[in-house]
Structure 1
Amino acid sequence: MKQETLYKINQLEEKYCHGCLLKKLNRDRGSHTSAHKFCISQCSVGLKIRSHGNQLQ
């Protein structure tokens, strides 16, 4: 189960997060922290990754 969840997270990140223009824009306008906050609270992919991450606890 843990391995499968980690695989899903990695797949989402590779497919959608690498090269994400919104992530880059948020980093350029603010900081790494503000970009991360955006990703985990407003981005649909980030919310899905966060949901999977909560399953690991």
Structure 2
Amino acid sequence: MNLHELEKIRELEDNYCKNCKLKKVNRKLYNKSYAHHFCINECSVGLKIKIYGNNL
């Protein structure tokens, strides 16, 4: 397991995802599943997290 990738993922989540207003709005307007899909496939931070995750 590559600790560098895990640390980068943790750092991105802490700095950007925890207080993301788009995530909160999407959850409120749609649902948790939609918000998750948006984060992974549309958000630039989510796309970076996805790349790091694929490297694990």
Q: TM-score with structure 1 length normalisation?
A: 0.94
Residue 34 of structure 2 corresponds to residue 41 of structure 1:
no
Whole-Å separation in 2 of the counterparts to 1:19 and 1:9: 15
Partner of 2:27: 27
Structure 2: segments with no counterpart, 5+ residues: none
Q: CA deviation at 1:54?
A: 0.4
Q: Secondary structure at the match of 1:4?
A: helix
Q: CA RMSD in A?
A: 0.9
Q: CA deviation at 1:4?
A: 0.8
Structure 1: segments with no counterpart, 5+ residues: none
* Percent of residue pairs bearing the same amino acid type: 52
Q: CA deviation at 1:9?
A: 0.2
Partner of 2:14: 14
Partner of 1:50: 50
Whole-Å separation in 2 of the counterparts to 1:51 and 1:33: 20
Q: CA deviation at 1:8?
A: 0.2
- After TM superposition, the runs of 4+ consecutive aligned structure 1 residues lying more than 6 A away are none
Q: TM-score with structure 2 length normalisation?
A: 0.96
